[in-house]
Structure 1
Amino acid sequence: MNRIVIIVLVVLCVIFIIYKLKSVLGVNQTQLKEKIDSGALVVDVRTVAEFQSGHFPGAINIPVDQVSKRLDEFGDKNKSIIVYCASGGRSGSAKSFLESIGYSDVTNAGGLSNMPNP
């Protein structure tokens, strides 16, 4: 009986982890490209130095620790916004914050390497 409970718990944990990863990895490049082609604002939330070392064409740089101070640069709360960083952690934080203050269409693209070819 205990083995069954442990197996069920392990399976549930794996499902939960996969679900959480999908929030970062679940957006495919085709979806991102469609949003970008439709005028989405692309925001690189890495540091200035990281941004200067290479970034997605047309992206603006608003480091994650400055997001709350630079809200005017995000524009209309209904505008499509794509945020990315190096791996998805900082962009996940930016997405959560923006959604918490009313932005309705924020996509966490994960890392720069997840962005579509321009």
Structure 2
Amino acid sequence: MSKDTGDTYDNIWDRNSYEISKKANVAFNAKLFFYSIPKSKFILTEDGKITDTIKDPIFDMDVVQPFDITWNKILENLWSSNDWNDLLSKVRRLAKSDPFFATLRDYIDNPEYPLPENTIT
């Protein structure tokens, strides 16, 4: 005898909200965006503080931030954003002290490469 576990899509309507992982059900575009944010660090120069990405020592390519760290940082700091402009202002403020948010700011607040509307949503 098999037991219905409720894992099929036909049976998820009767599950409680705490039984469904929000992180596992993030939209595909959001997952791709989160996976594309590179690890970064602040470098002090004569002109001030600049953000630089961390490179792989063998391939000399940007090392990406793990998805879990990206998810947690965004959830911890940006969960209370009311709209896109509110989110941008919080990211700009956090970018002054955290290289992750400085890199995120460069990704989402770059007039030369605007984000697609579905990514903003």
TM-score, normalised relative to structure 1 = 0.26
Computing the radius of gyration over CA atoms, which structure comes out larger, 1 or 2? 2
Structure with bigger helix share is: 1
Q: Going by fraction, where is strand more abundant, 1 or 2?
A: 1
